[in-house]
Each structure stands twice: as C-alpha cells, then as structure tokens.
Amino acid sequence: MQTVPIIELNDGNVVSELGLGVFLMETGRGEELIHQAFDIGYRRLDTAAMYENEEMVGQAIASAGLPRDEVQVTTKLWNTDHGYDAALRAFDLSLKRLQLDYVDLYLIHWPCPKQDLYVESWRALEFLQSQGRVRSIGVSNFLPEHLARLIDETGVVPVLNQIEVHPHFQQQEAREFADQHGILIEAWSPLGRGAVLDDPIIQALSRRHGRSPAQVILRWHVQMGNAVIPKSSSPERLRENLNIFDFVLSDDELQQIADCDRAQRTGPDPAVFE
Ligand SMILES: NC(=O)c1ccc[n+]([C@@H]2O[C@H](COP(=O)([O-])OP(=O)(O)OC[C@H]3O[C@@H](n4cnc5c(N)ncnc54)[C@H](OP(=O)(O)O)[C@@H]3O)[C@@H](O)[C@H]2O)c1
C-alpha cells in the first residue's frame, strides 16, 4: 500500500499531499471506487455540497470501517449559501449528509464577488472551527484580491486555496501570494481534466522516465509544493495516480514544464463566476 506524504498547514494540522477528487462520482459505483482507493492507500477525499454526493461519500466512509482519524474529508460551501447564518445552516446539512461529527477541511467554494458576502461566510467558518466541527478552514477559487481582503478584515489566514492549476494554467500570481502568506495551493483539475496529457513536453518526459503522462504531471505538482486531488473512475488509474513518490523530475525538466504554460483555464473565472 502506498503511503502518501503529509503537508503541515499554517494552523498546525496536516493533510495528505494527494487525495481523491470525487466530483461526478455517483452512488453505488462511487462507493466502490472510494473503497478501492482506501485499499491502495488514499486517505483523503474531496467533495462539495454542489457535487450532490456527500451522502455517498459518508456512506462509503462508514462502510469502509477505517478509524475516523485515518480519513480526511474536505467539503465546500456552495455559492447559494453565502452569508453568516446561511453558511452555518449549509454546513449542518453537509455534516449530516456525510454522517460525520466533524470535517477536516471546510472551504468556501467560490468567492462570488458580486454577492459580496464571502467575509461573512468566512466568519461562519471561523465559528465552526472554534466549535471543533471543522478542523481547518480554507477557500477555493479565491484571487489574491479576495484573499487580501479576507486576511485584512478578519486576521485569519486560510490554510489553503484550492484553485485550477495544471501545466497549461500555472497561476504564478496566485502561487506567489500564497507563498508570501503561508497558504497551501491545492490544485483542482490537476490533469487539466485529461486535456494536458497529450502535451508534447509531457509526452517526452513520460517516455524518458517510463512513467505515464498523468504521473509526470502529478509529480510536477508535488515538486511545485501543490497538494493534488486527481479524480479517476478507473481502479488502474487510481493506482497510477498514487504511484508518483518514487521518481524525481530534474530542475531542467521542471523548467520545461514551466514553459508549457498557456494561461488557459478549463473552468470559470472567479472574478465573475457566481
Ligand atoms: N474547487 C473547485 O472549484 C473544483 C473544480 C473542479 C474540480 N474540483 C475537484 O478536483 C477534482 C479533480 O478535478 P477534475 O476531475 O475536474 O479533473 P482532473 O483530475 O484533472 O482530471 C480527471 C480526468 O482525467 C482522467 N484521468 C484521471 N487519471 C488519469 C490517468 N492516470 N490517465 C489518464 N487519464 C486520467 C479522468 O478519466 P477517468 O475517470 O476515466 O480515469 C478524468 O476524465 C474533482 O473531482 C473535484 O474534487 C474542484
């Protein structure tokens, strides 16, 4: 079984460097995949209220029978639940669907700047953490300007920012801001939803190392200091994605991947997405 390295967060808690994203995993098959993932060493699951599969995730955790403190669960506050009271209500429902007493990480899914409520939502997350129902609090899809405001107005720095990052969308500005403030970058769509696998540089490095293109990309992420949450619906690819801790990309190879950046998003722009 593969052991995944851990990363210490700015609040002293730790997370696995690599977890399983469960977006689009459904009841039945999803539960089976989560059990297969646990069997080979995954210990961290990334869901969200918006994925409408928190119940399935909770069921999979309950039926796997692992000690609670061996599994880390992230879920997220959806855009329609911004604001202090609404966030508390939404969290109660998420926790109930997950059949848990606490979650390891609770994130604001998108800043939704037009609603202008993310600071109030953040205060609700702080309250939930003080109650022990959330171990660590963070955000997702926050631009540096949103993070700066959150930190200025509340003094509480998110432990991580989960954002779209892959070789075609490397997010230099967001990474620099995160570095300066001790915020971990967690890459969503770390494989660019599969679209980066055919990049010629990735293909060449894959041949050179005798590793799959996905393994090269995930290895690049961990060497950049990113946490990653690739999703796969295939047991073979779940295993492949986990087996990235026994080879190293050289500085020159990292630079070749740095040069692949096309500033090309696959998902929405946080500046306008509501
Ligand atoms: N915070 C946010 O706003 C946000 C947004 C999007 C996603 N996320 C999170 O990030 C997770 C991952 O993102 P994602 O699913 O969009 O993209 P991804 O992990 O970059 O890519 C998933 C795609 O790559 C394929 N794939 C996975 N492993 C592979 C391998 N070893 N070789 C070839 N193909 C492979 C998968 O196909 P198969 O399933 O067939 O293997 C699937 O089509 C989500 O599940 C979710 O938890 C968060």
- The model's pLDDT over 117-174, given as tens digits with 9 standing for 90+, comes to 999 999 999 999 999 999 999 999 999 999 999 999 999 999 999 999 999 999 999 9
**Taking Cα atoms as reference points, which of 9, 266, 5, 265 lies closest to residue 161?**
9
Quote the ligand 1 centre to 229 CA distance (angstroms). Answer: 8
Check residue 146 and report its DSSP letter. Answer: H
Pocket test for ligand 1, best of 22, 232, 242 (most atoms within 8 A of CB): 232
Helix axes 118-130, 144-154, angle to 10 degrees: 60
Establish whether 102 is a catalytic residue.
no
- Residue with the bigger pLDDT between 27 and 181: it is 181
- Give the model confidence (pLDDT) of 222-263 as tens digits: 999 999 999 999 999 999 999 999 999 999 999 999 999 999
- Round to whole Å and give the CA distance between 247 and 209: 8
Q: Are strands 227-228 and 160-164 parallel, antiparallel or unpaired?
A: unpaired
Task: With a cut of 90, say whether residue 271 has pLDDT above it.
Answer: yes
Task: With a cut of 90, say whether residue 34 has pLDDT above it.
Answer: yes
Name the band, by pLDDT with cuts 50, 70 and 90, for residue 219. very high
pLDDT > 70 in the chain, percent:
100
Determine which residue's CA is closest to atom 31 belonging to ligand 1: 237
Supply the pTM of this predicted model.
0.98
* Interval 102-110 mean pLDDT: 98
Task: With a cut of 90, say whether residue 198 has pLDDT above it.
Answer: yes
pLDDT at residue number 2? 85
Does the CB atom of residue 174 touch ligand 1 within 6 A? no
Say whether 30 sits in a helix, a strand or coil: helix
- Round to whole Å and give the CA distance between 274 and 262: 25
* Interval 208-216 mean pLDDT: 98
pLDDT at residue number 99? 98
8 A C-beta contact, residue 153 and residue 119? yes
pLDDT at residue number 28? 82
Does the CB atom of residue 21 touch ligand 1 within 6 A? yes
Task: With a cut of 90, say whether residue 27 has pLDDT above it.
Answer: no
Positive or negative torsion for Cα 54, 66, 191, 112: positive
pLDDT at residue number 203? 98
Cβ-based neighbour number of residue 116 at 10 Å = 10
**Mean pLDDT of all residues in the chain?**
97
Positive or negative torsion for Cα 36, 50, 139, 74: negative
- Give the model confidence (pLDDT) of 85-101 as tens digits: 999 999 999 999 999 99
Quote the ligand 1 centre to 178 CA distance (angstroms). Answer: 23
